[in-house]
Every structure is written in structure tokens, then in C-alpha cells.
Amino acid sequence: MSNELLEGIRRSGKSEIAVVGPKGCGKTTFARAFAGSLAGAAFAEGESVRAELAEGGVCIAEYASAELSQNCGCAVLVTSDGSFGRPRGEVIPEEEAAVRSLRACGVAFVIVVNGAAGSELCGALEEKYGCAAFAVNCAGESDYSAVEEGMLFSLPVASLEIDLPEWMCVLPAESKIISEILEKVRAVSPKICCARDCSLMESAFAEGNVYCEASEVNPVSGCAHYSFAAKEGMFYSVLSEECGAEITDDLRLMAYMHSLKDAKKFYDKFRGALASAEESGYGVVYPKEEDMVLQPPELVQRGGRTSVKLKADASSYHLIKIDVHSEVCPVSGESARSEEIARGIVESYEKDPEALWNTDMFGKTFKDMVRGGLDEKLGNMPEDARGKLRKAVTRIVNEGKGGVICILL
């Protein structure tokens, strides 16, 4: 445990374990005993204790106050239960001041309650200060392994890694289930400051459609790893939402996939033409070999000469991109009031274009009005005119050689 603690402190780029707390609570006694429990230490004593650990690179330093150096990686706040020396009531103000200083410096810390009855106070201090507290009789022989572990799990978290079920990884961020996961992760992540806080992620996902089935925290590296899983039935529920069809079991999934086969085949036929029409305004679906209808040979006699004509017919699709224009004039007239309203609409658009288009007027939004105009124009072309247009394009394809064809609709 001691090697892991020292490695974790070095990982943070720091080099000190600080010992702070109220006067007369046993800081010096604890610093000497704790340093000895970690590794062989060389002490330099003056007004305070400083122990260079044999592991190298990390030292234990006692501070008369909580004015810590920038090299402090974590700290131990030593206080007393009032069973020796100063009464508990006199210790509390200095204890609270030390906690404020530690938090102001952003230093992770644990509390050691020195005294014969320290265990009775630990729970209250943990709740009061939000950190681990341990009862230790620093004057006697004590096991410091629990303090070491507490310090190790007080080290800062460097990264959070979350594994989702593979099928979730293909979902867009805006999907309902992914949005819910991201919302919870973003809410709880700022609260995970040290390794001891990593259980907060599991608690955040205790209820809902996704839960944390496994977690692993490495306080030495500062990495917390979580594996998420979905509750039974969520796969088909999300699949139904994404597909817009009710898929509740393998049977319905297979039936849906079979229908997608036909839909994909149809789309693949038109995909190239649609892309071309989008880019240049015109796209053609070329017939495949299986689309051709081969006609029987036809003898042709012309001027004493006989030949054979072989014909093939096939359908092709010509996609034309048509730009349709629609407009709506919500304000008209020559009065000053009309001008004021018109200018207000223009200014509204500059501030929030989407809000303007969604403005309701006479039971319809501006967007609905222009949409209605577009639909009306697209439906204006008579059936006979469509037929004539089709015949004209057919003639251009089969007979046109650069000449001009006049189309009368």
C-alpha cells in the first residue's frame, strides 16, 4: 500500500505529504510514526518535523499551520477527541480553519482523530467535512494501513472511462438513450474529485434503463473505469425508436430486416441519380441488363437489300431538380403602422430567424404559409401536361441529336 501511495503522489507531480492541524493534538508524534510505517525515513527536526522517505522523491512535512507549499500532494489533518491535552471545544475552531485552508489550496486530505475515544467522533467528522476520518492513538503502537488506504483514495481522479454496450456505440448523440447517459455523466462528473468519490457514478445510474454493471478504480493512475449495461428489453425498445417500427423480438427483427432488403435494393437503384440531381439538377437511372426486353429479329427490306434489325427496350428514370419559389406578405399598406410592423419583422429575423418563421398569424406560422405555397405550385401541373413532358423527354432521349424541340404544355 505504501508504494502505491507514494507512486500516486508522484503521479500528481507533487512531492510532499503534509501533516497539519490544531496545536497540541499530536502532529509531530503522528508524523514520525507515520513516516516510519511507510518506509525508512531520515528526519530533520526543528520547529517542525520533515522526513525524507527512503523511497525517494516524496517527504512527510509537518506544518504549524495549513499554509501549505505548492509541492503538497495530499495531507493528513491531525485533530484530537479531547481525551488528552486541550478540550475538544478549544480544538474545533483551529480544526475548521485548517480544513478551509486545505480546500482553498485544493489539497486532498484525510482526518486522523488522535485519542482513546477517537472512533466515536470519526463518523460525525466524515459527515461534517466530507472526507475519510480514522481513529488512531498516536502515542501507542498503531496500524496505519487504513490511513494509507484513505490517503490513496483521496488522490485526485485524472480520467473517467466509460464502456457502453457495442450496439449503443453506433447511435447518434441526440438519440434518447445516449442523451440520458450523457446528461447523467455530465451531472455527476464534476462531483468526482478523488478516487473515493468514484462510487457516485454507480449511484447516478442506480435507476433507469442503463446501469453500471462493473467499475474499477486505480487510485495510483487516477483512472476510473466503468462498464455500463442496458436493462433487458432495451435493445429492442431503442431499435424500435430508431427504425420507426415495433420490433419486440427476434422474429419481428428478422421480418423487418427482410423488408429492408427490398427497400435497400430499391434505393440503391436510384442513389446515383439522386446524388447527380442534387449536384447538377439532373440525374438518370440507367437500366441494368435484366431490365432489358429483347425483341425478336425483324427483317427489313429496303431497295432490294435485306437486313435484320435487333431491338431492345428498357425503362429509365430521369430525375429533374426543380427550384420552386413561394412567398408570403404578412404586412401591406401605406400607413405608418404597417411600416412599423414590417421593420419589426425584419429586426426580429436578425435577432432570431427561427423564432420569426415560427410566428403564428391567423392560426398558421409563416413557415406553414410558404410551405403551403410550395405544395400548391407543385400540384399545379396538370396530368396531361405531365404526360406531354414525359413524351417530350422520351423523344429527346431516343431521337434528339442536338436539335430544338418545342414543348407545348
Predicted confidence at residue 45, as pLDDT, reads 55
CB-CB contact of 377 with 324 (8 Å): yes
Predicted confidence at residue 46, as pLDDT, reads 55
Predicted confidence at residue 189, as pLDDT, reads 92
Predicted confidence at residue 339, as pLDDT, reads 67
Q: How far apart are CA 129 and CA 331, in angstroms?
A: 65
Predicted confidence at residue 71, as pLDDT, reads 79
Predicted confidence at residue 331, as pLDDT, reads 60
| pLDDT beneath 70, residues of the chain | 1-2, 39-48, 53-56, 65-66, 118, 330-342, 400-409
Q: How far apart are CA 203 and CA 135, in angstroms?
A: 28
Q: How far apart are CA 205 and CA 361, in angstroms?
A: 45
pLDDT tens sequence across 4-59: 887 787 777 777 888 999 998 988 888 888 887 776 556 555 556 777 765 567 78
Q: Which residue has the cell 500516486?
A: 8
Predicted confidence at residue 204, as pLDDT, reads 93
* CB-CB neighbours of 206 under 10 Å: 8
Burial label, 46 (beta-carbon count in 10 A; 0-12, 13-18, 19+): exposed
Predicted confidence at residue 43, as pLDDT, reads 56
